[in-house]
A and B are shown apart, each in its own frame.
Chain A
Amino acid sequence: MSNTINSAVGGKKYWRSLDHLAETPEFKDLVQKEFPQGASELTDPVSRRKFLSLMGASMALAGLTSCRRPVEKIIPYVVKPEEIIPGKPQYYATNMPFGTESFGLLVESHEGRPTKIEGNPSHPTTKGSSNVFMQAEMLNLYDPDRSKQILENGMVSNWDKYRAAWNQEAQNYSENGGEGLAVLTESFASPTLKRLANAFLEKYPRARWVTYDSISDENIYKGLMAATGVMARPNYEFSKASVVLSLDADFLQMDSNDIQYSREFAGRRRVRSEKDSMNRLYVVEGTFSITGGMADHRLRVQSGQVGMFAAALAAELKAQGLAINAPQVSASFDAKWLKALAADLIANKGQSLVLGGRRQPAEVHALVALINDALLNTGKTVSYSVNPDAQVSNLESLVELTNAMNKGEISALFMLGGNPIYQAPADLAFTDGLA
């Protein structure tokens, strides 16, 4: 394999990855070595003859190993915890905060070791179902990178030392009102954490509280803020929707509240008697998602064009007689598709639902809210609610924080969860700010 893209020779250029195209040093290194990093090469000087003789010996002796039974140990408790019966799993009901969402879980535990996570059948959010994130959370519990104790500059320390160090700092900060103090969290909707955050900001009024998630409903909140004037989130009632249009929203797998939405959506697909009817799903998206796979009608549109599509839809709805304040658009989409969709939505006024994905910018969500309003869906298939405890991700506040850090204005930063070095947009230079 040639490891450079030979542009001197005419004709098409082929590349296997962006690294290949850019000819990064890592890529060159990779092709030069036969084995990827981590895979060891055979360097120890075992000759072929030695190898064969050892193999021969182990083959000859392999038969003998099974003659003696391996000794196994039974190791009982010293003091048995009263509630544990060895061999019987225990189930704990708990809650998993996930962004501004919270899921009710049952965790199976064997002799004190959690082994499996499932939804809690008596919790309204999950009703016994789970999603990919909950299943993966199991691995998080055994993550070897999880810190088990207090560390100070990589060395094991303890709470007392931490408290002593912080008490000294706290003295200074209470004098200057928390100037130079910042807290960075992931988004949350925990009443307790919100109360503590408020108490913290009351004590240190000039401190910053920054919330950032690389994947969140930030755009949805912002779009609704523009449309309605409050930081609200949408709640969809799929059980009442006969026609659903998803604009790049993967509500069956990746978006917020997917468990409830999947269940309610599927509920309208089940036909039990001749009177039951099925809902219809239109999906407009750039990549194939689970939701796209479920679609009755799927239109492939570049992710960046989805907003244009929403505008075109609004214009088409207006053309078909709906009272809506539609923006002007010049883009052209499949006209037949668009006409049929608009007609279907109008025919199902009050029981249709349009939703936008969290990947789409705030403007799309504002427009979606407008369309739902014009289709008389608000209050029927979609409603908006304000959670006073929700602390929503905010990219601008992270930008401000990073700028302040780079200017040297921040003297102490607390990060509660999250991994901004990895997650924050690279051009923000968050890492430089930390140094």
Chain B
Amino acid sequence: MAQIFPKWTNKAPLYVAIASVLIIIITGGLINYYASPLNIDVGYRPIQPVPYSHKVHVGDLGMDCRFCHTGVEYSPVAMIPPTKTCMNCHNMIKADSENLKLIRESQQNKTPVQWVRVHKSPDYVYFDHSAHITVGVGCASCHGNISEMEVVFQAKPLSMGWCLNCHRNPDDHLRPFDKITNMTWTPPANQAEFAAKQKALLDIKAPTTDCTGCHR
């Protein structure tokens, strides 16, 4: 009697097993890579209602971040400036620019401008700007070089691993207070020495790596 299955089918279970293991590894790898915050969130650059440019205002005009983001040093949130802050200049400068129409309307009708949020930590994460700014962590460590950005985009992953990387060893990110908002600061050669001094001075303990420190 002729055989129902050809001979190679004896090996079929083996092939299937190898193939499925490979498929699992590859899909796992792909998901791990492409679905991580590093890949999904970094570079997120939504279109903003007003073509406000940090490059013009910070890079060219040299304004300090804290002129507009006044909350950073005192509060968990940095705060987007109120319409009034823009209008202090723009009722004179480019007072009839088409690009500023929304800002003028906001001023007139008392309706706030609705900016699109770029950086976002999930609701189950507790993040506090003031805790970082008051110990000398600069904006650029977490937001990249904002002064070069025409439109703000997310430069760092803001993932848990990324937070922890710095929390385990923050030394390279501690700077003198007058450099907090400097976008091009790089650690000098004697950074280790400075960091040790700064930590003793400000009584900076090792930043929290306890789950409850960030997940309150």
A residues near B, CB below 8 A? 69, 71-80, 85-88
Among A69, A76, A80, A86, contact of B113 (Cβ-Cβ < 8 Å): A76
B74 at the interface (CB under 8 A from A): yes
Q: In chain B between 66 and 120, which residues have their CB closer than 8 angstroms to a CB of chain A? A: 70-71, 74-77, 79-84, 106-107, 110-117, 120
Are A78 and B115 interface neighbours, CB within 8 A? no
Cα of A73 to Cα of B44 in the assembled complex, Å: 14
Are B74 and A76 interface neighbours, CB within 8 A? no
Cα of A80 to Cα of B71 in the assembled complex, Å: 12
Tell me how far the C-beta of A100 lies from the nearest C-beta in chain B, rounded to whole angstroms: 41
Which residues does chain B contribute within 8 Å of A80, judged by CB atoms? Answer: 82, 84
Which residues does chain A contribute within 8 Å of B110, judged by CB atoms? Answer: 78-79
Which residues does chain A contribute within 8 Å of B71, judged by CB atoms? Answer: 85-88
| Listed A/B pairs (30) with beta-carbon separation below 8 Å | A69-B44, A71-B46, A71-B117, A73-B114, A73-B116, A74-B114, A75-B112, A75-B115, A76-B79, A76-B80, A76-B81, A76-B83, A77-B83, A77-B84, A78-B82, A78-B83, A78-B107, A78-B111, A79-B84, A79-B110, A85-B70, A85-B74, A85-B79, A86-B75, A86-B77, A86-B79, A87-B76, A87-B77, A88-B74, A88-B75
Cα of A74 to Cα of B77 in the assembled complex, Å: 11
Cα of A85 to Cα of B73 in the assembled complex, Å: 11
Given A72-B120, A86-B71, the answer on whether A79 and B77 have CB atoms closer than 8 Å is: no
Cα of A87 to Cα of B40 in the assembled complex, Å: 27
- Which 5 pairs show the lowest CB-CB distances between chains A and B? A87-B77, A87-B75, A77-B82, A72-B117, A76-B80
Which residues does chain A contribute within 8 Å of B112, judged by CB atoms? Answer: 75-78
For A85, give the chain B residue with the smallest CB separation: B75
Are B106 and A78 interface neighbours, CB within 8 A? yes
Known: A69-B40, A78-B110, A78-B112. 8 other contacts (CB 8 A): A72-B116, A73-B115, A76-B83, A76-B115, A77-B82, A78-B107, A85-B79, A86-B75
Cα of A422 to Cα of B147 in the assembled complex, Å: 64
Which residues does chain A contribute within 8 Å of B116, judged by CB atoms? Answer: 71-74
Are B117 and A73 interface neighbours, CB within 8 A? yes
Cα of A75 to Cα of B75 in the assembled complex, Å: 17
Which residues does chain A contribute within 8 Å of B111, judged by CB atoms? Answer: 78
Number of interface residues of B (CB under 8 A): 27
Are A75 and B114 interface neighbours, CB within 8 A? yes
Which residues does chain A contribute within 8 Å of B115, judged by CB atoms? Answer: 73-76
Cα of A86 to Cα of B70 in the assembled complex, Å: 10
Cα of A71 to Cα of B116 in the assembled complex, Å: 7
Which residues does chain A contribute within 8 Å of B41, judged by CB atoms? Answer: 69
Given A69-B40, A71-B46, the answer on whether A78 and B84 have CB atoms closer than 8 Å is: yes
Q: In chain B between 40 and 74, which residues have their CB closer than 8 angstroms to a CB of chain A? A: 40-41, 44, 46, 70-71, 74
Cα of A85 to Cα of B77 in the assembled complex, Å: 9
Cα of A85 to Cα of B79 in the assembled complex, Å: 8
Cα of A72 to Cα of B114 in the assembled complex, Å: 9
Which residues does chain B contribute within 8 Å of A69, judged by CB atoms? Answer: 40-41, 44, 120
Cα of A430 to Cα of B55 in the assembled complex, Å: 72
Cα of A78 to Cα of B110 in the assembled complex, Å: 6
Tell me how far the C-beta of B212 lies from the nearest C-beta in chain A, rounded to whole angstroms: 20
For B114, give the chain A residue with the smallest CB separation: A73
Cα of A76 to Cα of B86 in the assembled complex, Å: 12
Cα of A126 to Cα of B70 in the assembled complex, Å: 36
Cα of A72 to Cα of B116 in the assembled complex, Å: 6
Which residues does chain A contribute within 8 Å of B107, judged by CB atoms? Answer: 78
Cα of A74 to Cα of B79 in the assembled complex, Å: 9
Cα of A85 to Cα of B74 in the assembled complex, Å: 8
For B110, give the chain A residue with the smallest CB separation: A78
Cα of A104 to Cα of B40 in the assembled complex, Å: 51
Tell me how far the C-beta of B33 lies from the nearest C-beta in chain A, rounded to whole angstroms: 15
Which residues does chain A contribute within 8 Å of B79, judged by CB atoms? Answer: 76, 85-87
Cα of A73 to Cα of B114 in the assembled complex, Å: 6
Which residues does chain B contribute within 8 Å of A76, judged by CB atoms? Answer: 79-83, 112-113, 115
Tell me how far the C-beta of A238 lies from the nearest C-beta in chain B, rounded to whole angstroms: 38
Cα of A71 to Cα of B45 in the assembled complex, Å: 11
Tell me how far the C-beta of B103 lies from the nearest C-beta in chain A, rounded to whole angstroms: 10
Tell me how far the C-beta of B8 lies from the nearest C-beta in chain A, rounded to whole angstroms: 36
Cα of A72 to Cα of B71 in the assembled complex, Å: 20
Which residues does chain B contribute within 8 Å of A73, judged by CB atoms? Answer: 114-117
Cα of A73 to Cα of B111 in the assembled complex, Å: 14
Cα of A284 to Cα of B70 in the assembled complex, Å: 61
Cα of A80 to Cα of B115 in the assembled complex, Å: 16
Which residues does chain A contribute within 8 Å of B84, judged by CB atoms? Answer: 77-80
For B81, give the chain A residue with the smallest CB separation: A76
Tell me how far the C-beta of B149 lies from the nearest C-beta in chain A, rounded to whole angstroms: 16
Which residues does chain B contribute within 8 Å of A87, judged by CB atoms? Answer: 71, 75-77, 79
Tell me how far the C-beta of A109 lies from the nearest C-beta in chain B, rounded to whole angstroms: 14
Which residues does chain A contribute within 8 Å of B83, judged by CB atoms? Answer: 76-79
Which residues does chain A contribute within 8 Å of B46, judged by CB atoms? Answer: 71
For A76, give the chain B residue with the smallest CB separation: B80
Which residues does chain B contribute within 8 Å of A77, judged by CB atoms? Answer: 82-84, 112
Which residues does chain B contribute within 8 Å of A75, judged by CB atoms? Answer: 112-115
For B106, give the chain A residue with the smallest CB separation: A78
Cα of A79 to Cα of B74 in the assembled complex, Å: 19
For B44, give the chain A residue with the smallest CB separation: A69
For B85, give the chain A residue with the smallest CB separation: A80
Tell me how far the C-beta of B158 lies from the nearest C-beta in chain A, rounded to whole angstroms: 12
Which residues does chain A contribute within 8 Å of B80, judged by CB atoms? Answer: 74, 76
For A68, give the chain B residue with the smallest CB separation: B40
Given A85-B75, A86-B75, the answer on whether A74 and B117 have CB atoms closer than 8 Å is: yes
Cα of A79 to Cα of B84 in the assembled complex, Å: 5
For B74, give the chain A residue with the smallest CB separation: A85
Which residues does chain B contribute within 8 Å of A79, judged by CB atoms? Answer: 82-84, 110
For A75, give the chain B residue with the smallest CB separation: B112
Cα of A145 to Cα of B44 in the assembled complex, Å: 44
